[in-house]
Each structure stands twice: as structure tokens, then as C-alpha cells.
């Protein structure tokens, strides 16, 4: 029978940890009872350098239940890295991994559907939100805009899918070969291949605690997603440059004609405006290219992506 690992990144989640541990244990016990997964399936809580009591609570859950494992990272590395750390640690211990947020916004009821699809031969099953009524207007609009921009930039992602997904052992095996530091899991997982499927669910409100994804982190995730997967912004800049050159040729023809017919106006407004405008465009272009060079710089250093401090398991030697 296949061993399932539920991988849960946690950053300052003391408010929800006990509730989600209870719920996730219930889900595992239910699936074990139905003989869909092995008895030694487990939940792996990844503590992403929390500043509150999250790790203490994880240790407590670990001592109380053989279903709970814990992974402690030495500092806060962010959701994408924490999740990767958890998936790669789980890879050697499990046959299937499902990643889910600690706040239970994703519907645990569809985990069973995911497992069923896995048994039908799917290697990756995406959890897709079929509505976002529970998200704030702002979050909904920005998130959906993001998926559209990604698509326009030619990055393959699954619409309305975040990081709630099932991956088989061989999908994880292949995923572990991605060594990049600029992580954007939603863009990387579709590159694995194999047969995939989706399950649909309604996104709920956070059980407790606050979002750990403020606007700044959301924007940086979106920006990282685009620039790690697409060089289209650079070609857009090139296109803009060509357009401006065409415009300036038209302006030159116009100026020449009006000089010829003696209608030229004295004035520097147009001159100054165009200098400023072009200066701005050039700065954006340089900045844009700089972003990519910065990314190359970070990749080239080949630093370790996270530091595992402790791994608590109930593995038998
Ligand atoms: N998270 C993390 N490290 C961070 C920020 C968030 O591990 O630096 C975890 C967090 O504990 C949660 C998940 O990532 O389990 C998603 O975060 P959150 O629910 O706050 O994001 P939202 O649902 O508001 O987008
Ligand atoms: Mg959340």
C-alpha cells in the first residue's frame, strides 16, 4: 500500500497549528481506515523559522501522535522554499505527497479524490479553486490578474491553482533535479510532465491567524514567477524601443513639413517631454535587463536553498 505524506509549511501559525493537526490527522486516519493509503502515512509540518510557538506545538504534536513528523528550518526562507524543503524531505519516506497550507483554506475533503486519481495512474493532481468568493475583492482581483499576466507571458500555470497538489514519488524524484534558487513551484511542476488531473474545491477562509502573504510578498512572488520563467518582458522592451523610433521618425517628418510650410512653433515643451519620456523608457529597459542579470547572479552562486536544522520522524531503523 502507498504511503502518503501531507506536507504543511508553517510560518508563525501557532493560532491554527493544533486545529490543522487535528483535522489532518482525521483525514489520514479516515484514508487509512478505507485502506487507500498505508498505515505509516504521516503529516510533515515544516517550521519555516517561525518567531512564535509554532515549533513547540509541532514537537508536542509529534510526541502525541505517530502520524506527525516535523522539520525545522534554521531560519525563515519563505513559503516556496519551505514547501520544497518539506517535499524533498518527504520524498525518501513516502510514495505520494500532498502539499497543503497550515491554515486549512484548501478543502481537505478533496485529498481523498486526489488519492483516488493517483490510484488511477495520475502522477500530479492539482487542487483548483472553483470560486474565490471567500477571498477579499482585492486578493481575488490581483490573483486572477496574475494568472492572466502569466499566461500572456507564455508561462504555463494551472489557472486558480496555488500550492495544494498531489505528487507521486517519481514526480518528486524528477522535481528534486530542479536546482534553481529562483523557485516558483506553480511554474515548475507543469514542467515535470506525466499524466496530470485536477480536483475542484471551494476556497475557505483562514481557520485562525492572519495571512502570511502581505501585498509585498504577493508582488514579489508574481514578479519572480514571471522573470524566472519568461524572457518576454525583455522582448516587449525591444518592441517598445522600435515603436518609439517609428514615432520619432513620424515626428521628424511632421517637423520638417511644418518648417517647410512655415508653421513651426517656438517652444521647448515637446522637446523636454520627449527627453524625459525617452529617459524613463531607457531606465525601465535597463532596470528590466538588470532584473535578469540579478537573477543570473543569484543562480550562479549556487547557494544552498535552505538549512534543515532538525527532522523529527517515527521511522523504524
Ligand atoms: N508560509 C511559510 N513561510 C512564509 C510565509 C508563509 O511557510 O514565509 C506558509 C504559511 O504558514 C501557510 C502558507 O505558507 O501555511 C500560505 O500562507 P498564507 O495562508 O498566509 O497565504 P495566503 O493563503 O493568505 O495567500
Ligand atoms: Mg492561506
Tell me the pLDDT tens digit for each residue of 122-140. Answer: 999 999 988 777 777 888 8
SS (H, E, C) the chain: CCCEEEEEEECCCCCCHHHHHHHHHHHHHHHHHCCCCCCCCEEEEEECCCCCCHHHHHHHHHHHCCCEEEEEECCCCCHHHHHHHHHHHHHCCCCEEEECCCCCCCCCCHHHHHHHHHHCCCCEEEEEEEECCCCCHHHHHHHHHHHHHHHHCCCCCCCCEEEEEEEEHHHHHHHCCCCCCCCCHHHHHHHCCCCEEEEEEECCCCCCCCCCCCHHHHHHHHHHHHHHHCCHHHHHHHHHHHHHHHHHHHHHHHHHHHHHCCCCCCCCHHHHHHHHHHHHHHHHHHHHHHHHHHHHHHHHHCCCCCCEEEEECCCCC
pLDDT of residue 268: 61
Say which ligand is closest to the CA of 75.
1
The sign of the torsion formed by the CA atoms of 148, 149, 154, 160 equals: negative
Per-residue H/E/C for 38-65? CCCCEEEEEECCCCCCHHHHHHHHHHHC
State the closest ligand 1 atom to the C-alpha of 211, by its place in the atom list counted from 1. 20
- If you measure from the C-alpha of residue 102 to the centroid of ligand 1, how many angstroms do you get, rounded to a whole number? 7
Interval between CA 219 and ligand 2 midpoint (Å): 16
Q: Which three cell numbers stand for residue 52?
A: 512564535
Give the environment of ion ligand 2: residues with CB less than 5 A.
101, 103, 105
Residue 159 has what pLDDT? 86
pLDDT value of residue 154? 84
| pLDDT value for 223 | 86
pLDDT at 108: 93
Low-confidence spans in the chain with pLDDT less than 70:
263-269, 317
- Whether ligand 1 lies within 6 angstroms of the CB of 211 is answered as yes
What pLDDT, on a 0 to 100 scale, did the predictor assign at position 264?
A: 63
Q: Is the CB of 42 under 6 A from ligand 1?
A: no
pLDDT digits (tens, 9 = 90+) for 260-308: 777 666 666 677 778 888 888 888 888 888 889 988 988 988 889 999 9
Of the candidates 223, 220, 207, the one whose C-alpha atom is nearest the C-alpha of residue 102 is 207
Res 265: pLDDT:
65
Grid cell, residue 107, equals: 478543502
The residues that bridge with 99 in the sheet, in sequence order, are 7, 165
Amino acid at each position: 500500500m502507498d504511503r502518503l505524506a501531507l506536507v504543511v509549511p508553517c510560518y508563525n501559525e501557532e493560532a491554527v497549528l493544533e486545529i490543522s493537526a487535528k483535522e489532518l490527522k482525521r483525514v489520514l486516519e479516515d484514508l487509512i481506515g478505507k485502506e487507500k493509503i498505508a498505515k505509516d502515512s504521516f503529516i510533515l509540518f515544516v517550521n519555516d523559522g517561525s518567531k512564535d510557538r509554532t515549533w513547540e506545538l509541532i514537537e508536542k504534536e509529534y510526541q502525541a501522535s505517530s502520524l506527525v513528523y516535523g522539520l525545522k528550518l534554521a531560519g525563515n526562507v519563505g513559503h516556496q522554499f519551505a514547501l520544497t524543503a518539506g517535499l524533498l524531505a518527504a520524498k525518501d519516506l513516502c510514495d505520494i505527497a500532498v502539499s497543503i497550507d497550515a491554515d486549512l483554506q484548501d478543502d481537505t475533503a478533496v485529498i481523498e479524490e486526489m488519492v483516488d486519481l493517483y490510484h488511477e495512474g495520475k502522477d500530479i493532481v492539482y487542487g483548483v479553486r472553483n470560486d474565490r468568493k471567500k477571498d477579499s475583492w482585492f486578493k481575488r482581483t490581483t490573483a486572477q490578474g496574475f494568472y492572466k499576466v502569466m499566461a500572456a507571458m507564455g508561462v504555463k500555470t494551472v489557472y486558480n491553482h496555488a500550492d495544494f497538489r498531489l505528487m507521486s514519488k517519481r514526480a518528486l524524484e524528477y522535481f528534486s533535479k530542479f536546482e534553481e534558487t529562483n523557485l516558483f513551484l506553480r511554474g515548475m511542476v507543469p514542467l515535470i510532465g506525466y499524466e496530470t488531473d485536477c480536483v475542484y474545491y471551494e476556497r475557505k477562509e483562514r481557520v485562525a491567524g492572519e495571512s502570511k502573504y502581505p501585498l509585498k510578498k504577493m508582488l514579489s512572488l508574481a514578479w519572480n514567477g514571471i522573470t524566472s520563467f519568461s524572457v518576454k518582458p525583455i522582448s516587449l522592451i525591444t518592441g517598445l524601443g522600435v515603436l518609439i523610433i517609428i514615432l520619432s521618425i513620424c515626428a521628424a517628418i511632421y517637423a520638417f513639413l511644418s518648417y517647410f510650410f512655415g508653421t513651426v512653433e517656438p517652444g521647448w515643451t515637446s522637446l523636454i517631454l520627449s527627453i524625459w519620456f525617452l529617459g524613463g523608457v531607457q531606465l525601465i529597459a535597463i532596470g528590466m535587463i538588470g532584473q535578469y542579470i540579478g537573477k543570473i547572479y543569484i543562480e550562479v552562486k549556487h547557494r544552498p536553498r535552505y538549512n534543515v536544522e532538525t527532522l523529527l520522524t517515527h521511522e523504524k531503523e
